Homo-oligomer: A and B are copies of this chain.
Amino acid sequence: MTFKGLPTVFLSLILVMPVRADEGMWLLNDPPRQLLQQKYDFELSDAWLERVQKASIRFNSGGSGSFVSPQGLIVTNHHIGADALAKLSTKERDYLREGFYARTPAEELKCPDLELNVLMEIVDVTEQVNAAVKAEMSPEKAAAARRSIMSALEKESLEKTKLRSDVVTLYQGGLYHLYRYKKYTDVRLVFAPEQQIAFFGGDTDNFEYPRFNLDICFFRAYENGQPVKPEHYLKWSKRGPKENDLVFVSGHPGTTNRLETLARLIYRRDHSHPYTLARLRAMEALLRQFAELGPEQARMAAHDLHRVANARKAFSGQYQGLLDPAVLARKEAEEKKLRAQFEKSGRKDGPDPWVQIENTQKKLVSLERPYALLERGDAFWSELFGIARHLVRMTGETPKPNADRLREYRDSNLESLRFHLFSPAPIYPELERAKLTLSLTFLAETLGGAHPLVVKILAGKAPGTRAEELINGCKLIDPAERKRLAEGGVKAIEASKDSMIQLVRLIDAESLRLRKRFENEVDEVERQAYGRIAAVRFATLGRSVAPDATFTLRLAYGTVRGYRQEGIELPFHTTFGGMFERAERQRFREPFDLPPRWLKGKDKLDLKTPFDFVSTADTIGGNSGSPVLNRAGELVGINFDRNRHGLVRNFVYTEEQARHIAVHSAAVLEALAKLYDAESLVKELSSRR
């Protein structure tokens, strides 16, 4: 489309009154009522909002879901359930690959360490947090004061409400909200399809459309040994969405970077993303090689491999976006406007925050890699290392006053941390050795073989030898040993001869020094600067721009609509029939092989059943498993992906081609009834209280 030749009056109309795009991952306590009224003639009622909020579920393993029956039945994606599926599997029975169905409650399988959260309440605590941080404080003092007030607010809330309480930073430091969650830790597996149908097309089709995935999984929440009766749940729509329908996505988008400054994005382009891509490629290559060693190794590595390959594809797409001058030009134009506004305001509240953020990027150049390798743990890709570090630090931190501890050891977080730390989920030494060898090698590649940290960590051995010695000398594979050390406190840790505990102790001082530098010199400075940028934005644009994603509950909306790609009109939904055609064209080669149930059962299915569909609603990773809702608040789909045009959504939202992708609610019923003989499940989804 070109404006050339348009009469000036039209041109200015377009510039003045653009139809607002469906951008935004909106806060539940600040929803876009007016926008929905204007564009879609939809009135967002408090009752609608409360029902959706309390039926929505956060999977702490990294995704979203929702209650879909009065008996605590939960739907999410197969790839979100995958963590639990892998942990429940054994050499003899591979639920991740083969699927699972509990025909009776007694057959449901309890997940070893799955925690679910339901958001009950949001309280704005911005004033309290900001009041604790005085203008005259050094960044170090300010950061400590901020940590301290946040931990205190959380503890107070937990004690008062018994609800999990987290202070969430919004607008990169513009607002602080306290989120209160009801927590479920007795979660049982009800149903999962075979991985081949959940992830049909594998890496090839990931982030693409048209798609053909039954990417669903059902769990049930229990309390006191009984199925939960949730206050709210979503009704399952038998018909699903029609073309051009307004739909909503309610879920927990993980991270976006749309409100970051240009300097920060350029830093990501030139430093963080190349580093991350190199790391992910190394990890993926290792996992593929490990999986090829044999069928059992393939099973052990399957879940890690899926996650890493998914991240690699996502980051590659983001990076292409960052290299696209059009994307950065758009960010530059936005920033220019905001900075002009700041100048106009007389810059009265201190130094230029954009310059401050630019300066922190210069510090990051030398700090980020050692920080990521040591403190974020990139050099130690091992479950046992993560456990060992928590044991060393938890025993050291918990004797301190709550306000002085590292964030993850604050009182309000300890229960969740212990639940995770003492999990009986299996750990595979063979896989641990391979992963640790790779990450120690990557450490040397990144810092150089003569770097003091590398020399210290490798301790005079090649990475493979060192990894072998560390894993073989570690007893933490046994949860009882973890409990023994946790209960024994600092004394037990200091006396421990465990190789992994000793590795943590060897590097922890340096690691914490890097963390302090990061928190004081980068994070705190940025929080304050972004806080002042947010103030300019609020003053100019009000709350018309949603905050970046923070893995907390958000509401997005959009239109069910196909799009044009390379000259072809893609319809808004695919069908079962389309999938069989694609499998055939690919000669049923992996990853286009179908489970025997589907190959044999083809004739039982209505091949015209809609399978997956797309809408313009604004989603990102973390939204996986989110319910897609219609105006009536019924579940019409389960979001599981976005297309490649949507990969740049971390930085900019576009709706010409970018779409999220969801499993159609009718496809689920058809498959459950016709192929899985899951009549009781179908009945439960159709029941009405």
Q: Which of A38-46, A147-155, A321-329, A469-477 contacts B (4 or more CB under 8 A)?
A: A321-329
**Across the interface, which residues of B come within 8 angstroms of A446, CB to CB?**
274
Please report which residues of chain A, range 287-332, place their CB below 8 angstroms from some CB of chain B when the two chains form the complex: 288-289, 292-295, 312, 316, 319-325
Does any Cβ of B come within 8 Å of A49's Cβ?
Answer: no
**Across the interface, which residues of B come within 8 angstroms of A278, CB to CB?**
278, 281-282, 445
Most buried by B among A204, A281, A461: A281
Measured CB to CB, the closest approach of chain B to A287, in angstroms, equals 12
Does any Cβ of B come within 8 Å of A684's Cβ?
Answer: no
Does any Cβ of B come within 8 Å of A586's Cβ?
Answer: yes
Does any Cβ of B come within 8 Å of A621's Cβ?
Answer: no
Q: Which residue of B lies closest to A293 (CB)?
A: B204
Measured CB to CB, the closest approach of chain B to A298, in angstroms, equals 8
Most buried by B among A322, A324, A450: A324
Q: Which residue of B lies closest to A269 (CB)?
A: B449
Measured CB to CB, the closest approach of chain B to A311, in angstroms, equals 12
**Across the interface, which residues of B come within 8 angstroms of A461, CB to CB?**
324-325
Does any Cβ of B come within 8 Å of A284's Cβ?
Answer: yes
Does any Cβ of B come within 8 Å of A441's Cβ?
Answer: yes
Count of A interface residues, CB-CB < 8 Å: 49
Most buried by B among A289, A295, A589, A591: A289
**Contacting A319 at CB < 8 Å: which of B266, B273, B322, B441?**
B441
A270-B450, A449-B270 known; A295 and B203 CB under 8 Å? no
A204-B292, A278-B281, A589-B295 known; A449 and B321 CB under 8 Å? no
Q: How far is the CA of A361 from the CA of B319 in the complex (A)?
A: 32
Measured CB to CB, the closest approach of chain B to A40, in angstroms, equals 33
Q: How far is the CA of A293 from the CA of B587 in the complex (A)?
A: 12
**Across the interface, which residues of B come within 8 angstroms of A585, CB to CB?**
294
Q: How far is the CA of A274 from the CA of B443 in the complex (A)?
A: 10
Chain A 437-468 interface 0/1 with B at a Cβ cutoff of 8 Å (1 = within): 00001001110111000000010111111000
Does any Cβ of B come within 8 Å of A285's Cβ?
Answer: yes
> Judging by beta carbons under 8 Å apart, are B295 and A586 in contact?
yes
> Judging by beta carbons under 8 Å apart, are A449 and B266 in contact?
yes
Chain A 235-277 interface 0/1 with B at a Cβ cutoff of 8 Å (1 = within): 0000000000000000000000000000000100111011001
Does any Cβ of B come within 8 Å of A578's Cβ?
Answer: no
**Across the interface, which residues of B come within 8 angstroms of A282, CB to CB?**
277-278, 281
Does any Cβ of B come within 8 Å of A202's Cβ?
Answer: yes
Chain A 164-200 interface 0/1 with B at a Cβ cutoff of 8 Å (1 = within): 0000000000000000000000000000000000000
> Judging by beta carbons under 8 Å apart, are B323 and A449 in contact?
yes
**Across the interface, which residues of B come within 8 angstroms of A458, CB to CB?**
323
Measured CB to CB, the closest approach of chain B to A50, in angstroms, equals 43
**Across the interface, which residues of B come within 8 angstroms of A321, CB to CB?**
462
Q: Which residue of B lies closest to A280 (CB)?
A: B285
> Judging by beta carbons under 8 Å apart, are A281 and B292 in contact?
no
Q: How far is the CA of A500 from the CA of B281 in the complex (A)?
A: 29
**Across the interface, which residues of B come within 8 angstroms of A271, CB to CB?**
448
**Across the interface, which residues of B come within 8 angstroms of A449, CB to CB?**
266, 269-270, 322-323
> Judging by beta carbons under 8 Å apart, are B294 and A463 in contact?
no
Measured CB to CB, the closest approach of chain B to A640, in angstroms, equals 19
**Across the interface, which residues of B come within 8 angstroms of A586, CB to CB?**
294-295
**Contacting A320 at CB < 8 Å: which of B203, B450, B463, B589?**
B463
Q: How far is the CA of A321 from the CA of B462 in the complex (A)?
A: 7
**Contacting A289 at CB < 8 Å: which of B203, B292, B450, B462?**
B203
A270-B449, A270-B450, A281-B278 known; A463 and B323 CB under 8 Å? yes
**Across the interface, which residues of B come within 8 angstroms of A281, CB to CB?**
278, 281-282, 285
**Across the interface, which residues of B come within 8 angstroms of A266, CB to CB?**
449-450
Measured CB to CB, the closest approach of chain B to A295, in angstroms, equals 6
> Judging by beta carbons under 8 Å apart, are A462 and B270 in contact?
no
Q: Which residue of B lies closest to A446 (CB)?
A: B274
A270-B450, A278-B278 known; A441 and B323 CB under 8 Å? yes
> Judging by beta carbons under 8 Å apart, are A320 and B277 in contact?
no
**Across the interface, which residues of B come within 8 angstroms of A319, CB to CB?**
441, 445
Q: How far is the CA of A527 from the CA of B273 in the complex (A)?
A: 39
Q: How far is the CA of A274 from the CA of B441 in the complex (A)?
A: 9
**Across the interface, which residues of B come within 8 angstroms of A445, CB to CB?**
273-274, 277-278, 319
Q: How far is the CA of A324 from the CA of B444 in the complex (A)?
A: 11
Q: How far is the CA of A589 from the CA of B271 in the complex (A)?
A: 40
Q: Which residue of B lies closest to A324 (CB)?
A: B462
Measured CB to CB, the closest approach of chain B to A650, in angstroms, equals 15
Measured CB to CB, the closest approach of chain B to A254, in angstroms, equals 23
Q: How far is the CA of A203 from the CA of B266 in the complex (A)?
A: 38
> Judging by beta carbons under 8 Å apart, are A202 and B320 in contact?
no
Q: Which residue of B lies closest to A201 (CB)?
A: B292
> Judging by beta carbons under 8 Å apart, are B203 and A270 in contact?
no
Q: How far is the CA of A464 from the CA of B585 in the complex (A)?
A: 26
**Across the interface, which residues of B come within 8 angstroms of A316, CB to CB?**
441
Measured CB to CB, the closest approach of chain B to A271, in angstroms, equals 8
**Across the interface, which residues of B come within 8 angstroms of A289, CB to CB?**
203-204
Nearest 9 A-B pairs (CB), nearest first? Answer: A274-B445, A324-B462, A270-B448, A281-B281, A204-B292, A269-B449, A278-B278, A323-B462, A320-B462
Known contacts A285-B285, A292-B591, A323-B458, then 17 further A-B pairs from the complex at CB < 8 Å, ordered by chain A residue: A203-B292, A266-B449, A266-B450, A269-B444, A271-B448, A274-B445, A278-B281, A281-B281, A294-B585, A294-B586, A319-B441, A322-B449, A323-B449, A323-B463, A324-B465, A325-B460, A325-B462
7 pairs, CB–CB < 8 Å, chain A vs chain B: A204-B292, A269-B449, A281-B282, A316-B441, A320-B462, A323-B449, A324-B462
